[in-house]
């Protein structure tokens, strides 16, 4: 504990010596422990922004548990918190005890010190695919409990851990009109495409993406009236099942590398000045 306090003090002193706009954004936002006392509003895009007035998902609810509490990433726009809680109550009603919730956002959003390029404006949440069984986990258990993978063959297929429960979890989150996208591994999308026998409109929001076999990533749209928030372009028309199948085909039979593909540009750390102008006031606000 003493070492942790000392590190925090050293970081704060180092940040104070820099002009606010020249600070590494992940250091500046990662050092803040509470949301700003401002109206809730996201600024910028999911991968380059911040958020005022975020609220914490309560660490423990009747049908959810916030995990990895030491990260202090259980913050979100009130609309996101409401989406998560509604999904949790639904899963409790249909046979799970509820859900375990991973990273949402930092108290004022912004780039994170590790782990995510997005989750910056309080509109993203990771929900574990592991069925929640214990709604009374200790803080230590929330740090140490491991999620369980749902994939096999590098994500081309689901494994034996996947059940109708995971299908219903994804479906309920996707059916919320506020949800813009759900990211999950390709084999899960293909499995849900094959298994769904009712209204398939929700499948359009479910998009295959690398990783995401321990959790699904729920992303909601910019709330009404949030003029400084940038929505991601909507998914293409249709249920997206053919595209997901192509992902699976490419996993099983990888296409040859493109010899003319340019090398990936190195990614530099964002500074506060790279974010929307409102983010400086979000940082300095009480």
Q: What is the pLDDT along the chain (286 residues), one digit of tens a residue?
A: 444 444 454 444 444 444 555 689 999 999 999 999 999 999 999 999 999 999 999 999 999 999 999 999 999 999 999 999 999 999 999 999 999 999 999 999 999 998 889 999 999 999 999 999 899 999 999 999 999 999 999 999 999 999 999 999 999 999 999 999 999 999 999 999 999 999 999 999 999 999 999 999 999 999 999 999 999 999 999 999 999 999 999 999 999 988 888 888 888 899 999 999 999 999 999 9
The pLDDT, as a whole number, for residue 54 is 98
The pLDDT, as a whole number, for residue 143 is 97
The pLDDT, as a whole number, for residue 2 is 47
CA distance 192 to 165: 11
Tell me the sheet residues that pair with 271: 24
The answer to whether 260 and 34 are in contact (CB under 8 A) is: no
- The pTM score is 0.90
CA distance 76 to 259: 42
**Packing angle between helix 241-252 and helix 186-195, nearest 10 degrees?**
130
- For 2-254+269-284, CATH gives 3.30.1380.10
| Residue 171 burial (10 A CB sphere; 0-12, 13-18, 19+) | buried
Contacts of 230 (CB under 8 A, 6+ apart): 44, 45, 46, 49, 222
The pLDDT, as a whole number, for residue 115 is 83
SS3 content of the chain, % helix, strand, coil (to 5): 35, 20, 45
CA distance 161 to 81: 27
The pLDDT, as a whole number, for residue 21 is 56
Closest CA to 153 of 213, 97, 204, 98: 213
The pLDDT, as a whole number, for residue 268 is 86
The pLDDT, as a whole number, for residue 15 is 46
The answer to whether 214 and 147 are in contact (CB under 8 A) is: yes
Domain boundaries defined on the chain: 2-254+269-284
Count CB neighbours of 192 within 10 A. Answer: 25
The pLDDT, as a whole number, for residue 46 is 98
């Amino acid at each position: 504990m003493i070492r942790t306090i000392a590190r925090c003090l050293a970081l704060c002193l180092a940040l104070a010596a820099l002009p606010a706009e020249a600070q590494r954004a992940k250091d500046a936002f990662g050092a803040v422990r509470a949301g700003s006392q401002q109206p809730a509003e996201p600024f910028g895009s999911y991968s380059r922004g911040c958020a005022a007035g975020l609220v914490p998902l309560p660490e423990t609810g009747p049908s959810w548990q916030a995990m990895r509490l030491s990260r202090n990433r259980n913050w979100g726009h009130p609309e996101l918190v409401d989406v998560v809680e509604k999904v949790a109550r639904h899963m409790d009603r249909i046979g799970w005890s509820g859900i375990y919730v991973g990273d949402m956002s930092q108290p004022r959003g912004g780039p994170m010190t590790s782990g995510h390029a997005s989750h910056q404006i309080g509109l993203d949440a990771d929900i574990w695919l592991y069925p929640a069984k214990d709604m009374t986990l200790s803080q230590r258990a929330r740090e140490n409990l491991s999620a369980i993978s749902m994939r096999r063959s590098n994500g081309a297929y689901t494994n034996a851990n996947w059940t109708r429960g995971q299908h219903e979890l994804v479906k309920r989150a996707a059916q919320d009109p506020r949800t813009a996208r759900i990211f999950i591994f390709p084999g899960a999308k293909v499995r849900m495409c094959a298994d769904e026998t009712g209204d398939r409109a929700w499948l359009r929001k479910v998009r295959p993406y690398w990783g995401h076999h321990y959790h699904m990533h729920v992303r909601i749209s910019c709330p009404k009236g949030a003029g400084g928030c940038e929505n991601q372009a909507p998914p293409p028309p249709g249920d997206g099942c053919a595209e997901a199948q192509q992902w699976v085909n490419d996993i099983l039979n990888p296409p040859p590398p493109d010899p003319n593909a340019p090398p990936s540009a190195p990614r530099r750390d964002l500074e506060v000045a790279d974010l929307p102008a409102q983010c400086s006031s979000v940082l300095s606000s009480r």
